[in-house]
Homo-oligomer: A and B are copies of this chain.
Amino acid sequence: ADGGVGAAAREPPEEAEDIYTIKNQSAVECFLPCSCHDLQESLLSSASGYNNYRGILNWCVVMLVSTICSLFLLLKLYWYGILVDPIQVVKLFLKDPYSWPAACLVIVSNVFILVALYTERRLAVVSTYYVPLFISMILLSVVLCPSFIALLYVCVCFTVGGVLSLGIYTVLFLKLYSYQDTNRWCREIRQAKAKRLTHMYYFVFAPTLCYQLNFPRSPRIRKSFLMRRLFEMLFFMQLLVGLIQQWMVPTIQNSMKPFQEMDFSRMVERLLKLAVPNHLIWLIFFYWFFHSSMNFVAELLQFGDREFYKDWWNSESVTYFWANWNIPVHKWCLRHFYKPMLRKGINKFLAQTAVFLVSAFFHEYLVSIPLKMFRLWAFMGMMAQVPLAWFVSRFLNGNYGNVAVWISLIIGQPVAVLMYVHDYYVTHHGGTT
- Residue in A1, A42, A311 with the greatest tally of chain B CB atoms within 10 Å: A42
Contact of A42 with B311 in the complex, beta carbons under 8 Å = no
Copies in the complex: 2
Contact of B35 with A214 in the complex, beta carbons under 8 Å = yes
Is A272's beta carbon under 8 Å from chain B?
Answer: yes
Interface 1/0s, chain A 398-422, versus B by CB < 8 A?
0100110011001000000000000
Among residues of B, the one whose C-beta sits closest to the C-beta of A51 is B54
Specify which chain B residues have a CB less than 8 angstroms from the CB of A313 in the assembled complex.
Answer: 53, 55-56, 59
Contact of B62 with A20 in the complex, beta carbons under 8 Å = no
Is A50's beta carbon under 8 Å from chain B?
Answer: yes
Is A197's beta carbon under 8 Å from chain B?
Answer: no
Contact of B52 with A311 in the complex, beta carbons under 8 Å = yes
- Residue in A1, A58, A309 with the greatest tally of chain B CB atoms within 10 Å: A58
Interface 1/0s, chain A 31-50, versus B by CB < 8 A?
01111111111111100001
Q: Are A314 and B32 CB-contacts (below 8 A) given A42-B291, A216-B37, A304-B39?
A: no
Contact of B314 with A33 in the complex, beta carbons under 8 Å = no
Question: Which applies to chain A's interface (DSSP): helix, strand, loop or mixed?
Answer: helix
- Bound: A276/B220 CA distance, A: 44
Contact of A291 with B59 in the complex, beta carbons under 8 Å = no
Specify which chain B residues have a CB less than 8 angstroms from the CB of A212 in the assembled complex.
Answer: 9, 34-37
- Bound: A295/B40 CA distance, A: 11
Interface 1/0s, chain A 1-37, versus B by CB < 8 A?
1101100010001001100110100001100111111
Contact of A28 with B189 in the complex, beta carbons under 8 Å = yes
User: Which of A118-126, A149-157, A235-243, A335-343 is near enough to bind chain B?
Assistant: A335-343
Q: Are A62 and B307 CB-contacts (below 8 A) given A55-B402, A212-B37, A342-B20?
A: no
- Bound: A35/B189 CA distance, A: 13
Contact of B20 with A276 in the complex, beta carbons under 8 Å = no
Q: Are A311 and B37 CB-contacts (below 8 A) given A403-B61, A410-B66?
A: no
- Bound: A272/B70 CA distance, A: 8
Chain B min CB distance to A123 (Å): 16
Specify which chain B residues have a CB less than 8 angstroms from the CB of A287 in the assembled complex.
Answer: 44
27 chain-A/chain-B pairs, Cβ below 8 angstroms: A4-B189, A13-B334, A34-B189, A34-B212, A34-B213, A35-B214, A36-B210, A37-B208, A37-B216, A38-B216, A38-B307, A39-B217, A39-B218, A39-B304, A39-B305, A40-B304, A40-B307, A42-B307, A45-B291, A45-B306, A54-B314, A54-B399, A55-B311, A55-B313, A55-B402, A58-B402, A66-B275
